[in-house]
Amino acid sequence: MEEEKKTYSRRSFLKVTSISGGGMLIGFSWMANLMPNIALSKEHPTKDWIKLTGFIEINALNEIKLYSPNPEIGTNVMTSLPMLIAEELDIEWETVIVEQGNYDTPRFKSQFTGGSMAINMAWIPLRTAGATARQMLMQAAANQWNVPLKELTTTKGAVYHSATSRSLSYGALAAAASILPIPDKVPIKQNTEFSLIGTHQKNVVGKKIVTGKPLYTLDYQEEGMLIAMAIHPPAFGMQLKSFNAADALKMPGIKDIFDIKVYKEGYEKNALDTINFNHLVIVAGQTIWEVMNARKKVKVVWEPIKESKEIVGVWGGKKEELTPAGLESTEGHLKKMHEMQKKQGKILRRDGNPEFEFEQAHQILERTYTAPFLAHNPMEPISCFSHITDEKAFFVAPIQIPEFIKQNIVANLDVAAEKIEIKLARMGGAFGRRLYGHYMIEAGLISKKMKAPIKLIYTREDEMTAGLYRPSYMVSYKAAIDKNNTVTAIHIKGGGIPESAIHENRFPAGAFDNYLAEGWEIPSNINVAAFRAPGSNFIAAAEQSFLDELSEKIGKDPIDYRIELLQRTKEKSIGKNNDYDADRYIGVLKKVKEESDWENLKLTDKKYGVAAYFCHQSYVAHVVELSLGEGAPIIEKVTTVIDCGIVVNPEGAKNMVEGAVVDGIGNSLFGALTVKNGKPEQQNFDQYRIIRHNEAPKKIDVHFIKNDINPTGLGEPPFPPVIAALANALYKATGKRFYNQPFQNDLNN
């Protein structure tokens, strides 16, 4: 192979602009200030990286580096996103070097880890980046050989001209390619042409994980770094009044003890700025153990908060938020929710004349479902490194959407936006908790005060008791049934603390001529957060348990009844805003019937349950089989069918689905964060039960629907419906319906 060893250095940026239909436009802009460095010797290939688009770097040794733009929480996008680039770039995957991109949203455009959207949002832009770079490399070869572009092909990181038997590696072409104009509208492959997408590629960080390399924020260390911990109020509804740190300051290794107000007075919070305790006592010192010990010696006086109102940002707007005073309790919450159920709620959707049908009904089936607060409990507790200097505001942080914390940093740390640098550390789990980066502001304030690099560390107890929980919910499902055992109307009514989980346009909306959805909200001083499949993680469980009971009541097979209803929406959909695709829904139900051997299962004395749900643009059906063990059910088998469009990395995707199944079963059987007099009753894993090895399903059988639909969500969709499949199977095993999470409470009674 002929090698040209010029090295150029030039930057390019891939421009991705949102367009109104939710799609992406792609283009390039260039920084024109960097000239090719032609002084470099032809004889010595260098490892200088040449940038081709913001995502690809190639050096003269033909090493290829791909950047994974999105923060990694454990969904393995650090493997699947670069696979999209590699597919179109046409390189050997085994030789690729993958790097985590740091916070540089102008360069990477979408650094968004949330809503199961990573692959969906990157599907066209990242492939286009790969295809564009490939075409530039081909163009460079075409120019050099003086042959038309269309006569060239590529294979495994090299350009070929078969007519003259010539070839050049990408490494040899990168420099010349990087100074070419960016081609427009480069075609990407047809789905049938994929050679990498759809194959199993192992986690690119696998070896670093199993050898314990320092990948996480908690592992980050710098010379002269101090450790800081916070003391927050012991109960929601309390705040700092005063503290005395005289004894604690005398403890070994302690540098300073002071208080911080995280957000400034009057700061208007955005949607992801949620925080529970704004006024904290901070202990800063040399080592974790020394800070932990000193923290116990600080004498703190707390006082009750007063009711307050503030304007806060929410998705797509603003609202006035009321924070009531008082010490709340789970018991009180339940009482209040039951009271709200008796009052008229806000009408969310109304089709036909449901009131009339309920008056006329021969029978009415009405059931009420509840679920408690849940703590996210990612295995790595919250931590954040910060070093604020005049030159820059540097962070190492676990943060799902770094772009959204920018204005918060600017406003509350008084630093210019262009001085912000965030190293996106691998996250030891997130489940939604790390959308809310208040801890970055806390760390920044401490660094400013100490004039030093610091790492803020939350203990498990700190994290579990500082709030931002999954809301607690209540909902009633009511069906009017006529003399022919036909369901004539559905009424859904519910809400939560502090928000409702009702998705009024989801199934079974659209399947009934007469339908009513009502919601309400109860303000609280316990702030909440998105938790894996927000809202859906409760409402799916309620809806799909109710449909199970309803199908039994009217004497129909639960799968057949769901398909019958979906078929009805297909033929004559009621209302205009139904947000699901009945065909894909029916598809997963039919497939799960087949894969679980449903008809034969019904002839056995096995205990099983089914559920299906649509969220995050994907469709999932599960069949859970279980038996009753001592202390907890034994989950014998879970059969899962998911329609998430094209699957990029099937084994990685399977791992995600298995995890969501375990997570759903675990949280609904055991998970609960209860409060009494404002105080969380669970502080650590001895009180907060997490599903363990011996309680996990013995077998999880995952099947993907094969189709040509662009990838839709994967991390969240399998989570909500498995809760209902479990509840429905528990009914078969015990003869009791399970309405209240965690199910373990009723299982033991």
Residues at the contact surface with other proteins, assessed by CB under 8 A: 73-76, 200, 202-203, 205-207, 209-216, 218-219, 221, 227, 252, 287-290, 293, 377-381, 426-431, 459-461, 651-652, 655-656, 658-663, 666, 684-686, 690-694, 696-700
Shortest spacing between CB 650 and other proteins, in angstroms = 11
Positive/negative CA dihedral, 553, 556, 558, 564: negative
Q: Distance (Å, rounded) from C-alpha 746 to C-alpha 26?
A: 54
Q: How many CA atoms lie within 13 A of 728 on its CB side?
A: 31
At which residue do the structure tokens 């700061």 appear? 267
User: Which residue number, 585 or 613, has a Cβ lying nearer to other proteins?
Assistant: 613
Strands of the sheet with 166-169, listed across from one edge = 152-155, 158-161, 166-169
Q: Distance (Å, rounded) from C-alpha 263 to C-alpha 269?
A: 9
Shortest spacing between CB 212 and other proteins, in angstroms = 2
Q: Evaluate whether 443 touches 395 at the Cβ level (below 8 Å).
A: yes
Cα 656 to Cα 72, 182, 398: the distances in Å are 13, 37, 20
Beta-carbon count within 10 A of 375 CB: 27
At residue 133's C-alpha, the angle toward residues 127 and 138, to 5°, is 125
User: Which residue number, 146 or 211, has a Cβ lying nearer to other proteins?
Assistant: 211
Shortest spacing between CB 463 and other proteins, in angstroms = 10
Shortest spacing between CB 658 and other proteins, in angstroms = 6
Q: Evaluate whether 430 touches 113 at the Cβ level (below 8 Å).
A: yes
Shortest spacing between CB 430 and other proteins, in angstroms = 8
User: Which residue number, 198 or 666, has a Cβ lying nearer to other proteins?
Assistant: 666
Shortest spacing between CB 460 and other proteins, in angstroms = 5
Residues 6+ apart with CB under 8 A from 22: none
Q: Which residues of 394-431 are buried (b: 16+ CB within 10 A; e: fewer)?
A: bbbbbbbbbbbbbebbbbbbebeeebbebebbbbbebb
Shortest spacing between CB 684 and other proteins, in angstroms = 5
Q: Return the DSSP state at 33.
A: T
User: Which residue number, 156 or 200, has a Cβ lying nearer to other proteins?
Assistant: 200
User: Which residue number, 106 or 206, has a Cβ lying nearer to other proteins?
Assistant: 206
User: Which residue number, 89 or 384, has a Cβ lying nearer to other proteins?
Assistant: 384
User: Which residue number, 420 or 425, has a Cβ lying nearer to other proteins?
Assistant: 425
Shortest spacing between CB 211 and other proteins, in angstroms = 5
Shortest spacing between CB 665 and other proteins, in angstroms = 8
The CA-based diameter of the chain, rounded to the nearest angstrom, is 90
Amino acid at 102: N
Beta-carbon count within 10 A of 491 CB: 22
Q: Evaluate whether 614 touches 566 at the Cβ level (below 8 Å).
A: no
Beta-carbon count within 10 A of 247 CB: 12
Q: Evaluate whether 739 touches 538 at the Cβ level (below 8 Å).
A: no
Strands 383-388 and 454-457: antiparallel
User: Which residue number, 68 or 551, has a Cβ lying nearer to other proteins?
Assistant: 68
User: Which residue number, 333 or 703, has a Cβ lying nearer to other proteins?
Assistant: 703
Beta-carbon count within 10 A of 45 CB: 19
Q: Which helix (H) or strand (E) holds 301?
A: strand 299-304
Shortest spacing between CB 629 and other proteins, in angstroms = 11
Q: Return the DSSP state at 596.
A: T
Which has the closest alpha carbon to 453: 423, 429, 475, 428?
Answer: 423
User: Which residue number, 652 or 678, has a Cβ lying nearer to other proteins?
Assistant: 652
User: Which residue number, 216 or 243, has a Cβ lying nearer to other proteins?
Assistant: 216
Length of the chain: 749
Which has the closest alpha carbon to 405: 448, 444, 438, 447?
Answer: 438
Cα 167 to Cα 85, 107, 144, 180, 195: the distances in Å are 22, 32, 11, 19, 21
Shortest spacing between CB 666 and other proteins, in angstroms = 7
Shortest spacing between CB 427 and other proteins, in angstroms = 6
| Burial label, 193 (beta-carbon count in 10 A; 0-12, 13-18, 19+) | exposed
User: Which residue number, 183 or 429, has a Cβ lying nearer to other proteins?
Assistant: 429
Encoded tokens for 258: 């002071």
Strands 700-704 and 633-643: parallel
Shortest spacing between CB 659 and other proteins, in angstroms = 4
User: Which residue number, 273 or 695, has a Cβ lying nearer to other proteins?
Assistant: 695
Shortest spacing between CB 82 and other proteins, in angstroms = 16
Q: Distance (Å, rounded) from C-alpha 247 to C-alpha 294?
A: 8
Beta-carbon count within 10 A of 344 CB: 9
User: Which residue number, 76 or 617, has a Cβ lying nearer to other proteins?
Assistant: 76
Shortest spacing between CB 219 and other proteins, in angstroms = 4
User: Which residue number, 23 or 214, has a Cβ lying nearer to other proteins?
Assistant: 214
